[in-house]
Amino acid sequence: MAVVELKNVVKRYGGGLTGKAARSEEAPAVDDFNLVTEDGEFVVLVGPSGCGKSTTMRMIAGLEDNTEGEIRIGGRDVSDVAARDRDIAMVFQSYALYPHMSVFENMAFSLRLKKAPKSEIDQRVNEAASILDITHLLDRKPRALSGGQRQRVALGRAIVRQPQVFLMDEPLSNLDAKLRVDMRAEIVKLHRKLGVTTFYVTHDQTEAMTMGQRIVVMRDGRIQQIDTPNALYARPANMFVAGFIGTPSMNFMKMRVGDDTRSLKGETARFRAGDAFTGDLLDSHRGQEVWVGIRPEHLQHHEGDAGALENGLSGTVDVVEPLGSVTMVQLEIDGHRITAQLEGDTRARSGDTITLTCESARLHLFDVVSEQALARQPVESAATA
């Protein structure tokens, strides 16, 4: 168990023997990564593929060198420490079990390398096996196991080590959907039981939201936001995070801030910004366009006269997807594609013109140029509204 610190960590590829000259000109794979975990924290690194999340994890593991910056594990600078001396256990996407060893041997391997006494090896392997419920598989070879069982063995191999830090690199992505949900809960439980600082890499925002105590959202090698799941959802720092977190993803439409700095106007849509936004921020954008973000689940069907609405947008329904508990409706409003998650019994049909409304406290505003969030709503107002 340990605190992991990353300070100004940069990873650049290229410049090596095989690297092409052009690659050294490329943007760094990881740029200025700063993070200090708490002891025993579960940190999720999430982002689209190629965002540098796996590279970051591999740098913590010592499988890649950091070009710049400092990595500390338990206070010790590990930049020059080899992977095998970092006391870190990693669960790989492919599980990377040793095919010629039985499950027991796989799990015991690291202890055998350390020349631990046989009784201790037996005890620790059996303990880990019983936690993961794989005691009956100990004699089998990995090839005789199902995907879910292999996953457990891979976890078991990590647990037996009793390492300072767990690293998990998309460990669930090779499992089928149902198993993935089960293992998700199991890993969270396991973490709670063992209390080991854990880094978890995924591209799946649902996994990130359900598992992480803190989530690091990355794009193009840069951290976009580090926050708790709820805060990421309620107060995304920029349009990327806003669009990435939450399913279905947030709707965006361009609107103009009115001269009264309180109203937002599109072609047909209009909002009153209300108290959720500080007047100053809108003041500075008086008369300018801003991106308005609305989560599909915050849109409501308004039956009745649209003209009287302060917050309203109407458009023609394109596609209706009834999912039972909810109905997803896609419509075209002022040239933007908008998805609304309406109640299950909504009787909208494609071709209909419907009016939607949204509480102003639920709106997210972003600068058109920088795409950074403009005015952050206080959590309370978002929660109580």
Partner 1 sequence: MTSEVTAKGTGTAGSASGQGASRRRRAPVKRLMAPAVIFLLVWMIVPLGMTIYYSFQNYNLMMPMMRGFAGIGNYAILLTDATFWDALGNTLVLVVACLAVTVGLGLLLALLFNATFIGRGVARTLAISPFFVMPVVTGLIWKNMLFHPVYGLISWAMRSLGLEPIDWLAHHPMLSIIIMISWEWTPFALLILLTGLQSLPEDQIEAVRLDGANRWQEFRHIVIPHLGQVLYVVVMLESIFFLTSFAEIYATTSGGPGTATTNLPYYIYLNAFFQYDIGLSSAAAIGAVILANIFAIFLIRFVAGNLNAGSAR
Quick one: 100 or 193, whose CB is closer to partner 1? 100
Quick one: 99 or 307, whose CB is closer to partner 1? 99
As measured in angstroms, the least distance from the Cβ of 266 to partner 1 is 50
DSSP per-residue codes, 309-372: -SSBEEEEEEEEEE-SSEEEEEEEETTEEEEEEEETT----TT-EEEEE--GGG-EEEETTT-B
Quick one: 87 or 334, whose CB is closer to partner 1? 87
Q: Which residues contact 37 (CB under 8 A, 6 or more apart)?
A: 3, 4, 5, 43, 197, 214
Q: From the CB of residue 75, how many other CB atoms can be counted at a distance below 10 Å?
A: 8
- Binding region for partner 1 (CB under 8 A): 17-18, 61-63, 82-86, 88-90, 92-94, 96, 98-101, 109-110, 113-114, 143, 157, 161
- The rounded radius of gyration (Å) of the Cα atoms in the chain is 25
As measured in angstroms, the least distance from the Cβ of 49 to partner 1 is 17
Name the DSSP class of 109.
H
d(CA 271, CA 255): 9
As measured in angstroms, the least distance from the Cβ of 69 to partner 1 is 21
As measured in angstroms, the least distance from the Cβ of 28 to partner 1 is 22
How far apart, in Å, are the Cα atoms of 81 and each of 45, 65, 138?
23, 10, 33
As measured in angstroms, the least distance from the Cβ of 331 to partner 1 is 46
Q: Which residues contact 138 (CB under 8 A, 6 or more apart)?
A: 102, 103, 104, 107, 125, 129
As measured in angstroms, the least distance from the Cβ of 63 to partner 1 is 5
Bridge partner list, 292: 253, 365
d(CA 19, CA 24): 8
The two three-digit tokens of residue 212, written as one number: 């992480």
Quick one: 94 or 284, whose CB is closer to partner 1? 94
How far apart, in Å, are the Cα atoms of 111 and each of 48, 123, 167, 368?
36, 11, 18, 56
Closest C-alpha among 135, 175, 185, 181 to residue 156: 135
As measured in angstroms, the least distance from the Cβ of 102 to partner 1 is 10
Angle, CA of 8, 12 and 16, to the nearest 5°: 140
Quick one: 10 or 63, whose CB is closer to partner 1? 63
Closest C-alpha among 356, 358, 270, 348 to residue 315: 356
As measured in angstroms, the least distance from the Cβ of 159 to partner 1 is 13
Quick one: 114 or 347, whose CB is closer to partner 1? 114
Backbone angles phi and psi of 117, in degrees to 5: -60, 150
Closest C-alpha among 266, 267, 247 to residue 257: 266
As measured in angstroms, the least distance from the Cβ of 135 to partner 1 is 21
As measured in angstroms, the least distance from the Cβ of 87 to partner 1 is 8
Closest C-alpha among 6, 63, 77, 78 to residue 37: 6
Quick one: 106 or 238, whose CB is closer to partner 1? 106
